[in-house]
Amino acid sequence: MRIQFEIVKPDEGSSFRFVRSDSFEGSQQHSFHFHPEIELLCVRSGAGTTRIGNHESSYIDGDLVLIGSNVPHIAVLPDHPTHEHVRVQIKPEIMEQWLTDFPEMKALAGLIEKSRHGIKFSGSVKRNITLALFRMAHLAPLDKYLGLVKVLNQLAQTEEYEYLNNVQPKKDAANRYRVRLQKLFSFVEENYHREIDIREVAALFNISVPSFCNYFKKTTNTTFTRFLNNYRIQKACLHLHEDKTIAEVCFQCGFNNVTYFNKIFKLSVGKTPSDYREGK
C-alpha cells in the first residue's frame, strides 16, 4: 500500500493544529499517510475503523488514540458520514522542548515513547479527555494550549490504555519519504526568501522537472508551487507582527509582486495582510 506524506500547518497564532469537525473529508483521511507530528485523535461517538502501523481495529462507541511521529495510519474510516471528532497534531520539537525546559513535564517522555506503538485509551480517561477536548474547541489559543498540556499530562498518568502494536511498526517507506522530503524542506527553509527555479529543486533528486512534480504531488497530495506559497505565507504571518511594511514582508518572503502576495495571502489565511496585522 502506498504511503502519502501529509503536510500539517499549525493553526493561526498556535504552535499546533486543532481540528474539530462533524465529518472526515479530504483524501488524506482515506489513504495510508504519515507526518512528523504526534496526533491525538478523539471520536466522540459512532462506529468506524482505524489502521495504525500494522494494527487494524474497529470501534462502536467512539475512539481515543495517540499516534506517534511518522507512524503510518489511516486515522478513521467511519461507517457513517457524520462523525464528530477532534484531531490535534503537535510537532515533536514542541514536546521535546517541553521535556528540555520544563522538568514538570517529564512524564511526557514516557507518553512520547509509547505513542510510537500507537495507543488506544479506554474507561474513565477516555470519557474525561473526550469531554475536555470538545470543550477546548472554542477556546482562545493560549487557553487551548494550556488545556492541551493538561490533557497530555492525564494521558501520561493513566493506566487505562493498550498498545496497538506490540512492536513499533516498520516504517521503511515512511522513513524513505521523510529523508527525501527533509532534504527538500531544508532547501526551502534556506531559500524561500528568493526566487526558486523548479529545476533547482528537481536537481536535488537528480530527476527531471516533470518527474519531480509527479513525485511531489503523489507523495504530498499538493503541488510544489502551492506548498512553497503556503510555506512563504506562514513566514509572512510571523513577519507581519514585526515593524515592517507589507511590501517589505512580501519581498522578504520570496514574493516579487505585492498584488500577487495579497491574493495568495487571502486565499491561505482568509484575510488580507492588513486585516491580519490589525487582528480583524
For 252-272, the DSSP string reads: HTT-S-HHHHHHHHHHHHSS-
d(CA 229, CA 275): 19
Of 136, 110, 120, which is closest to residue 75 (Cα–Cα)?
120
Domain boundaries, the chain: 4-163, 172-278
pLDDT tier for residue 255 given thresholds of 50, 70 and 90: very high
pLDDT tens across 49-71, in order? 888 887 877 787 889 999 998 88
d(CA 104, CA 117): 24
Residue 27 has pLDDT above 50, yes or no: no
Q: How is the beta sheet containing 63-67 ordered, strand by strand? A: 16-21, 85-90, 38-43, 63-67, 119-121, 161-163
pLDDT tier for residue 177 given thresholds of 50, 70 and 90: low
Contact of 104 with 152, CB cutoff 8 Å: no
Residue 166 has pLDDT above 80, yes or no: no
Full-model pTM: 0.68
Residue with cell 510571523: 238
pLDDT tens across 106-163, in order? 889 999 989 988 999 999 999 999 999 999 988 998 999 999 999 999 999 999 999 9
pLDDT, residue 26, reads 43
* Start-to-end Cα distance in the chain: 45
CATH number, domain 4-163, options 2.60.120.10, 2.60.40.10, 1.10.150.20, 2.30.30.110:
2.60.120.10
CATH number, domain 172-278, options 3.40.50.300, 1.20.1250.20, 3.40.50.1820, 1.10.10.60:
1.10.10.60
pLDDT, residue 185, reads 79
Say if 4-163 and 172-278 have the same CATH topology: no
β pairing state of 4-5 and 33-34: parallel
Residue with cell 485523535: 41
Residue 262 has pLDDT above 60, yes or no: yes
Most confident of 48-52, 94-98, 182-186: 94-98
Q: Is 279 exposed, middle or buried (0-12, 13-18, 19+ CB in 10 A)?
A: exposed
